[in-house]
Structure 1
């Protein structure tokens, strides 16, 4: 691909901060996709995760996204440092809204250091900012956390649910290898009015549960992976009014660029795959996703 097709903010840099080398496993940023006919929002990204020694600034990242029809994003915190960054970032650019939380894989560390209650109190304080619209990402992760850490995860998840309900904020869920348990905790605690399964990783059964409960399902680049038949089956039955899109950047870059760095400007690759898989007109799908996103998080203006 011609280097000029890569947004200027991302040219020449890989995830190790060095110049792009090309070839298998290349770590330069992929080319920009064709712009979407109707703008959408990236409802989960991590702008504070730097590209090695060459981080892309908030404004430059959002400029690159806006150029291809991604008009806004949700910047997501997953520990105290990234949640503090999120509060600062949403004041820098009106195209950003934010989410703050302790990631389920980080919560056990805070607990073992005797810092969990203090950290949760700060998350609640940070969440009072008017442009913080979600508590997330929180939830359960049985892939990376084992043993006694799972009890701390569950406790932290329940506390985040309580914060979201008391502050009337959306709950943005990280669910990895823990579908049944996440649903169980939500039912036991009573889910907030607005729930989003970030980077939806379930199957048709979980999609039907979300349909019934009115929980939003956010699809990422994983939908385009060859081994993701479960996600494509889930999308096929998902209520169109509950479907969102995200990058989880800099992770989960969609096909055909899997393995290279991700960014919000890559959303159109996933949206086009969604339209093709569902047989939906692209412009109509974009409009529906945009409406769904505003309904989940409120207006960006």
Structure 2
């Protein structure tokens, strides 16, 4: 048995009903796009949403979606990217230092490029954007919020889904959405709230996408949220290469591992996996408009 934590986990039993991975980062995974898509398809994961986190990654997402019919793109500056640009913070998402123009002008320039990409037909979402108070301290909050508000406006103007990254910032994310007016289709990627927040999201019509951490022993809050979320607002994702579901936590994640999360979610919901998979596929297509 391989003990290498960097080794790819084995393929799970295929799903009988195909689903979509609503949020993945193929550019951060090993192997080629073709290999990733083929392995995913072999277990019933037939569509993926490739998500950009900075200008370079968003260009890659758009180009990849243009090249593959079963890949859709979302483009954005990750919440941790905005303060990196404004303050020249080398600990931001892309970890490339501050070689491009910084300050507010640099952020405006980057947002203008995201706006341009968001107009492309194969770009179906604007995100991941939002607020992250786990990695960014108080000095970065203003830049994050300015970037978040700009992404909301871009999503609404282009009629694209808004994909939200919300880490330890629930109240402020919901506040900004209320103040700006959320787009018609809004997705909380890697949903991290509790059941009470799920009820708030449900009333607003926000989609809640659950990742592999819903399988973790210490994630009862996520399972409680999943249990009360309306089925028509539930999505599934990998956020690969992160958040690998049990029993492979700590090893590299990839879209082909979605069946493990789907089966865990079906158990929480008390439904069979085919019923859940069919709902997840329909919901993802409706959320991203493909």
Q: TM tier, shorter chain?
A: over 0.9
| Residue 58 of structure 1, CA deviation | 1.0
RMSD: 0.9
The corresponding residue for 2:243 is: 252
Structure 2: state its 5+ residue gaps: 88-101
Structure-2 separation of matches of 1:120 and 1:134 = 14
Q: What is the aligned counterpart of 2:203 among 206, 209, 212?
A: 212
The corresponding residue for 1:97 is: 72
Structure-2 separation of matches of 1:37 and 1:180 = 39
| Residue 50 of structure 1, CA deviation | 4.0
Structure-2 separation of matches of 1:117 and 1:298 = 27
2:141 is paired with a residue whose SS is helix
Is 2:254 the counterpart of 1:263? Answer: yes
Q: What is the aligned counterpart of 1:49 among 28, 35, 38?
A: 28
Is 2:86 the counterpart of 1:111? Answer: yes
Structure-2 separation of matches of 1:88 and 1:293 = 21
Contact 1:59/1:93, CA 8 A, preserved across alignment: no
Structure-2 separation of matches of 1:61 and 1:204 = 33
Structure-1 separation of matches of 2:40 and 2:29 = 17
1:148 is paired with a residue whose SS is helix
Structure 1: state its 5+ residue gaps: 2-21
Q: Report runs of 4+ in structure 1 exceeding 4 Å deviation.
A: none
Is 2:61 the counterpart of 1:86? Answer: yes
Is 2:53 the counterpart of 1:74? Answer: no
Q: How does 1:1-301 map to 2 (within 5 A)?
A: 22-23=2-3, 26-51=5-30, 56-112=31-87, 113-114=102-103, 115-299=106-290
How many matched pairs? 274
State the TM-score, normalized to the length of structure 2: 0.93
State the TM-score, normalized to the length of structure 1: 0.90
Contact 2:131/2:169, CA 8 A, preserved across alignment: yes
Deviations 1:77-96 (A, max 9, x none): 00011001011101221110
| Residue 45 of structure 1, CA deviation | 0.4
Contact 1:77/1:136, CA 8 A, preserved across alignment: yes
